[in-house]
Amino acid sequence: MARGISPTRRVVGALSTYAILLLVVAQTIYPLLWVLFGSLKSKSEMLNNIWGPPLSIHLENYTQAWKTAGMASRITNSVVVTACALALVVLIATPCAYAITRLRFPGRNALLALIVASMLVPPQVMTIPLFTVASDLGLINSRLGVALIYAAAIMPLSVFILRGFLLTLPVELEDAARMDGASRLNVLLLIMLPLIRPGIALVTIFAFIEIWNDFFLAFLLLRDPAVQTIPLGLVSFFQQYDSLWNLYFAALMITTLPVIILFTLMQRQFVAGLTAGAVKA
């Protein structure tokens, strides 16, 4: 380490680093704490005690928000749509990525080029035709239909990520199995699948956050309140009862907290996957 700098300056430097970081963290975390506090206050306390923690805890806000916002059916819809889409992505992208990486077949390079090219086309620019295609196929207000479209939109990136993981595995492993007479499918299921589990986990986490939080496609395709997902429910709850702040904050907490907890538990894997993808590229 350098000798030129005095210890006092070093301490001042470190202190200012932490001071700025605390400020940054305050502006990311305090708004969320504010929502948590607000979700536990009575309506009058919301106006009198804007900043601080609740003086008395009103847990009934949560039960009331749960009922008023129709939370049970929204959560069910979000779970159904997200689970179907994730299952489709993993089941369909994995064999496709394996074939593109390891098998020789006519059109392989063209297919890879198509996948890379489609990553440059944001699906939002074809919103209108996507709506007409879904409408022709009878997929408006269909949870499975929306799941299919999510899966298709996220497919190119998923295949690309999985291909990256497959490329790092040695070919000798499967060659040995092939010599012993294993079929391609067996090689994929018994040898490759366990080895690319981190890749599949990464694809699943990304797709989960993307689909679970999505408002736009759901807004476009799920018009009937009975099939709407959580983000749509939050917006319509807000538009109908915009004076019931405390209930609204409770609804926001119910839907946001599980994702934050999930992320906190998986932070290490998530950040590792994210940075491996971005910095190596």
Partner 1 sequence: MSSSPGRMKRFVNGDGLPALLMVLPALCLFAVFFIWPFARGFWLSLNKWDGFSQPVFVGLANYARLTSDPLFLKALGNNLIFVAAILVLKNALGLGLAMLLDRAVIGRAFFRGAVFVPVTMSFVAAGLLWSWIYNPVFGLLNAFLDSAGLSFLKQRWLGDASIALYAVIAVDVWKWLGFHAVIYLAGLQALPSELYDAAEMDGAGPFRRFLHITLPLMLPVIFINTILGLSGAFVRNFDIVYVLTQGGPNHATEVVMTLMMKRAFQDGAMGYASAMGYALFLIVGLLSVGLLALMRRTRLDV
Task: Give the residue from 154, 155, 199, 168 showing the smallest Cα distance to 102.
Answer: 168
Q: How far is the CB of 15 from partner 1 (least distance, A)?
A: 11
Q: Which of 71, 153, 200, 202 binds partner 1 (CB under 8 A)?
A: 153
From residue 155 to residue 194, the character string flagging contacts with partner 1 as x (rule: CB under 8 A) and all else as - is xx--x-----------------------xxx--x------
Q: How far is the CB of 232 from partner 1 (least distance, A)?
A: 8
- Token output for 130: 């996507």
Quick one: 62 or 98, whose CB is closer to partner 1? 98
Q: How far is CA 200 from the centre of its chain?
A: 14
Q: How far is CA 60 from CA 196, 209, 247, 270, in A?
A: 46, 29, 9, 35
Q: Which of 6, 28, 48, 56 binds partner 1 (CB under 8 A)?
A: 28
DSSP designation for 106: T
Q: Which of 131, 177, 193, 241 binds partner 1 (CB under 8 A)?
A: 131
Q: Which of 103, 113, 167, 190 binds partner 1 (CB under 8 A)?
A: 103
Q: Which of 56, 110, 120, 168 binds partner 1 (CB under 8 A)?
A: 120
Positions in 30-59 near partner 1 (CB under 8 A):
31-32, 34-35, 46-47, 50-51
Q: How far is the CB of 145 from partner 1 (least distance, A)?
A: 10
- The residue with tokens 């956050």 is 209
Judge contact between 140 and 221, C-beta under 8 A.
yes
Positions in 210-269 near partner 1 (CB under 8 A):
212-216, 219, 230-231, 234-235, 238, 245, 248, 252, 255-256, 259-260, 262-264, 267
Quick one: 171 or 281, whose CB is closer to partner 1? 281
Q: Which of 7, 24, 172, 180 binds partner 1 (CB under 8 A)?
A: 24
Quick one: which segment of 54-62, 79-87, 131-139, 167-175 binds partner 1 (CB under 8 A)? 131-139
Q: Does 132 bind partner 1 (CB under 8 A)?
A: yes
Judge contact between 229 and 69, C-beta under 8 A.
no
Burial class (CB in 10 A: 0-12, 13-18, 19+), 146: buried
DSSP code string of 54-68: -SS--THHHHHHHHH
Q: What is the Cα–Cα distance from 194 to 191, expressed in whole angstroms?
A: 6
**Close Cβ partners of 252 (under 8 Å, ≥ 6 residues apart):** 35, 39, 234
Task: Give the residue from 218, 216, 226, 229 showing the smallest Cα distance to 255.
Answer: 229
Positions in 57-96 near partner 1 (CB under 8 A):
88, 91-93, 95-96
